[in-house]
Structure 1
Amino acid sequence: MLQRLREDVRCVFERDPAARNTFEVLTTYPGVHALLIHRISHCLWSRGVRWPARFLAYFGRWLTGVEIHPGATIGRRFFIDHGMGVVIGETAEIGDDCTLYHGVTLGGTTWHKGKRHPQLEDNVVVGAGAKILGPIRIGEGARIGSNAVVLKKIPPGATVVGIPGRIITPRSDDQKRREVMAQKMGFDAYGMTDDMPDPVAVAINRILDHLHTLDHRLDETCHALKEMGGDVDDSHIREIEPGELGGLALDTEDGNAETSVVNRRNNT
């Protein structure tokens, strides 16, 4: 439980640039409180202690404005930003590293028992006011736009907007590659799309493309020299850890959130 709490607090620093220190997160973030209460109530629910689990969930709703049924299954590093008005139903399933903003509903469309709420795979982001209804699957890495109403399954990596929700653009291979390169450098490239009228985002995308090309060519060159008998190290280059970037990355070991290389964008 303590390890999960540490992960939950650390992910707040990664996704909310307003977070300043651990004490502030633990005492003033309703999303963290709601998740902590849910983890306890879900443990009780899983052991058949149903009424105490429901009462604890009810207390969490009163305290935070976030309603999570104790039967819902939630993965690791889950973040609810702002929190007010979030509703997560009994049979909802949420994977690892997902983010929900205020006013989101993971609801059902039937009164029959059984599976009736959505399943969110890993790395899904759901914008403020969005409604995902029914026993549908939201693919890994999907983005649900603010106020969208989603009634059908969504493939991995897709972006959904509108009422009813429609897929506008699945993320391209270039965007996925940039995200991988950005993670190596210790910052989050979420929201940096090719069509953004933001010269900083465009410049960073070009830098990520350039670094990817350099990595690939350096790897090929070392392997070629090794095959020709050269005394070179062609082993895999160790990835940079975020903590090794000093003041240019988020460092939460001592509870302080330092300035990031890129200002993370919030879709609220």
Structure 2
Amino acid sequence: MLKQLKEDIQAVFARDPAARNTFEVLTTYPGIHALIMHRVAHELWEKDCKTSARILSSFSRFATGIEIHPGAKIGKRFFIDHGMGVVIGETAEIGDDVTLYHGVTLGGTTWNTGKRHPTLADGVVVGAGAKILGPFVVGKNAKVGSNAVVTKAVPDGATAVGNPARFITKDKETIATTETRCPEEVATTTENTEFQAYAATQEQPDPMLEGMRVLLDRLEQNEQRIHSLCKRLSLLDPTFNLSQTIEQPLSDEEIKIIEEVRRECEAQKVPSKT
């Protein structure tokens, strides 16, 4: 257990720039306090001292604001930053090098006594306020954005955002563009790949807005094609009434909605400079 504690402390230094020394981490980090008490409570739970384990778990919740069921399985170098409001259910399983922020819930959605809580693979980062609900796997090195609500499996390396959660994955083309960037940008990308605080980046697009942008572009192209075809048809057939085929003008409300969507889509394409 002492070796695990040393690794847990090193994980704090690696993921929290506010950590200054070991004494400070041991005395002022509720995530460390909750983890120490959970490891003891889990040993009691495994030895069938379940009442004692629950009592220790309840004291830990009272002292730290972090609720971890003694039956939950937690790997090495686990880090809970800030911690208040974190809830980890009985059948939850957490791999190595996982990070949770405050307000995270690993909950169940069924009354069954079997597996009903999520499994977090190695390297997962879960942002503040996220809810992961159900007996599925969040893949290796995946990220769950702040306040996301996840109810189905997350692929390896993907980022889940929104409610209900939508998945953002990096395709090969996106990864290949890092080869053409300057060394500073590549270094930043590499650093973000290793660890991203709150599971969020400045270049994180919204897949719904991206889909709307593609549909709006295609709709505009199709309208131009239809108008061009109608003009040609009117030249070939004098009986063809061109005036009846011209589209009806958009209302002010429709124009306003489209302009708002366009602005949001364009904002997704402009990287933040701050």
Bin for the TM-score computed over the shorter chain: 0.5 to 0.7
SS of the aligned residue for 1:147 comes to coil
> Is residue 58 from structure 1 mapped to residue 54 from structure 2 by the alignment?
no
Corresponding residue of 1:160: 160
Higher relative contact order (CA 8 A, sep 6+): 1
Specify which of 190, 197, 211 is matched with residue 195 of structure 2: 190
CA–CA distance in structure 2, aligned partners of residues 93 and 175 of structure 1: 35
SS of the aligned residue for 1:31 comes to helix
- Which consecutive residues of structure 2, in runs of 5 or more, have no partner in the other structure? 205-274
* Letter in structure 1 aligned against 2:195: Y
Relative to 1, partners in 2 of residues 1:69 and 1:99: Cα closer, same or farther, differing over 3 Å? same
Structure 1 residues 162-202: Cα deviation after superposition (integer angstroms, max 9, x where no partner): 00001023375459999xx96xx999853496838xxxxxx
Q: How does 1:231-250 map to 2 (within 5 A)?
A: none
Corresponding residue of 2:11: 11
Contact 1:159 1:170 in 2 (8 A): no
Q: How does 1:135-214 map to 2 (within 5 A)?
A: 135-170=135-170, 173-174=175-176, 190-191=195-196, 195=203
Contact 1:118 1:134 in 2 (8 A): yes
Cα offset for 1:112?
A: 1.4
* Greater fraction of residues in helix: 2
Cα offset for 1:111?
A: 1.1
CA–CA distance in structure 1, aligned partners of residues 18 and 64 of structure 2: 19
Corresponding residue of 2:216: none
SS of the aligned residue for 1:160 comes to strand
CA–CA distance in structure 1, aligned partners of residues 137 and 165 of structure 2: 14
SS of the aligned residue for 2:35 comes to helix
SS of the aligned residue for 1:36 comes to helix
Contact 1:148 1:162 in 2 (8 A): yes
Q: TM-score, normalised by structure 2?
A: 0.65
Q: How does 1:1-268 map to 2 (within 5 A)?
A: 1-170=1-170, 173-174=175-176, 190-191=195-196, 195=203
Contact 1:175 1:193 in 2 (8 A): no
Relative to 1, partners in 2 of residues 1:28 and 1:176: Cα closer, same or farther, differing over 3 Å? farther
Tell me how large the CA RMSD over aligned residues is: 2.6
Contact 2:15 2:195 in 1 (8 A): no
CA–CA distance in structure 1, aligned partners of residues 106 and 202 of structure 2: 30
* Letter in structure 2 aligned against 1:90: E
Q: How many percent identity over aligned positions?
A: 63
Q: TM-score, normalised by structure 1?
A: 0.67
Relative to 1, partners in 2 of residues 1:189 and 1:52: Cα closer, same or farther, differing over 3 Å? closer
- Which consecutive residues of structure 1, in runs of 5 or more, have no partner in the other structure? 197-268
SS of the aligned residue for 1:45 comes to helix
CA–CA distance in structure 2, aligned partners of residues 131 and 176 of structure 1: 32
Corresponding residue of 2:271: none
CA–CA distance in structure 1, aligned partners of residues 128 and 13 of structure 2: 19
CA–CA distance in structure 2, aligned partners of residues 123 and 113 of structure 1: 28
SS of the aligned residue for 2:160 comes to strand
CA–CA distance in structure 1, aligned partners of residues 84 and 26 of structure 2: 17
Relative to 1, partners in 2 of residues 1:80 and 1:193: Cα closer, same or farther, differing over 3 Å? closer
CA–CA distance in structure 2, aligned partners of residues 176 and 49 of structure 1: 53
For the pair shown, the structure with the greater C-alpha radius of gyration is 2
CA–CA distance in structure 2, aligned partners of residues 161 and 194 of structure 1: 14
* Letter in structure 1 aligned against 2:119: Q
Relative to 1, partners in 2 of residues 1:106 and 1:7: Cα closer, same or farther, differing over 3 Å? same
CA–CA distance in structure 2, aligned partners of residues 147 and 175 of structure 1: 30
Structure 1 residues 21-52: Cα deviation after superposition (integer angstroms, max 9, x where no partner): 00000000000000000000001101111000
Relative to 1, partners in 2 of residues 1:174 and 1:126: Cα closer, same or farther, differing over 3 Å? farther
